[in-house]
Amino acid sequence: MKVITGTVLTLSLFAFGSAQAFDITSQDIQEGHPMAKTFEYNQWGCNGGNQSPHLSWKDAPAGTKSFAITAYDPDAPTGSGFWHWIAFNIPASVKELPRGVNIKALGGNEVRIDYGTVGFGGACPPKGDGMHRYQFTIWALPTTKMELDENTQAAVVGFTLNRMALGKATLTATYTR
C-alpha cells in the first residue's frame, strides 16, 4: 500500500451572486426601532392602518435597470418566516416610495404574500410572541422586467432576487403585540 504524505489541499471560495450594499432610509421607520400602528395589518386579529412605510434609497450600483422591494419577518413562528411584501419591476428612475404607495401606478408588479393577498400586508405578530423584526429590502436588479406573475411563490422570488441582485439595502424595524 502506498501512503501519500505532505500533500496540502487548497480550496478557494468564490462569492457568486454577492450583492453590493447601498443606502436606504425612511421618514416612517428607523433601524431597530418599533413601527407605529399605521404599519400594522388590518385583519387576522390586527386592526392597524396597513400602510407601507415611506422608503428612499441612493447609491444603487452601476447597471441597475429596476428595483424590487421585499418586507420579511424572519421571526414568524412558521419555520420559514413570513413575507409581508414583494414588489418588482419598479423602474430604475424611482428612488423613493411614499407611505401607502401604489406599486402598479409606478409600473411595477407585486406577488401574493403569506397573507394570501397581493400587495403590502402590515405587521401582525401573534399576541405574546415577543418582538418581531421586519426587514424592508430594496434590491437593485440588472433587468428592466422580471418574468414573474402574482402567483409566483415568495420563496422563488427570494431565490431569484438573491441570485441576480447587483446590490441590496435593508432597513429592519420591529413590532410587538
pLDDT of residue 4: 36
Task: State pLDDT tens for residues 117-151.
Answer: 999 999 999 999 999 999 999 999 999 999 999 99
Task: Tell me the percentage of the chain whose pLDDT exceeds 90.
Answer: 87
Q: Is the pTM of this model over 0.75?
A: yes
Q: What is the pLDDT of residue 96?
A: 97
Q: Which long-range contacts (CB under 8 A, 24 or more apart) does 147-155 make?
A: 148/88, 148/109, 148/111, 149/109, 149/111, 150/109, 150/110, 150/111, 150/112, 150/118, 151/111, 151/112, 152/111, 154/83, 154/86, 154/111, 154/112, 154/113, 154/114, 155/80
Instruction: Report residue 7: phi and psi, to 5°.
Output: -90, 130
Task: Assess if residue 59 is contained within a domain.
Answer: yes
In a domain, 29, yes or no: yes
Question: Residue 14's pLDDT is what?
Answer: 29
Q: Return d(Cα 73, Cα 99) in angstroms, integer.
A: 19
Domain-located, residue 7: no
The domain of 65 spans 20-175
Backbone phi and psi for residue 80, each to the nearest 5 degrees, phi listed first: -140, 15
The grid cell for 44 is 387576522
Q: 39 exposed, middle or buried (CB, 10 Å; 0-12, 13-18, 19+)?
A: buried
User: Would you state the pLDDT for residue 2?
Assistant: 39
For range 67-91, the mean pLDDT: 96
Q: Within a domain: residue 156?
A: yes
Q: How many domains does the chain have?
A: 1
Q: How confident is the model at residue 22 (pLDDT cuts 50, 70, 90)?
A: confident
Judged against a pLDDT cut of 80, whether residue 28 lies above it is answered with: yes
Q: Which CATH number is 72's domain given?
A: 3.90.280.10
Domain assignment present for residue 1? The answer is: no
Nearest to 53 by CA among 104, 115, 97: 97
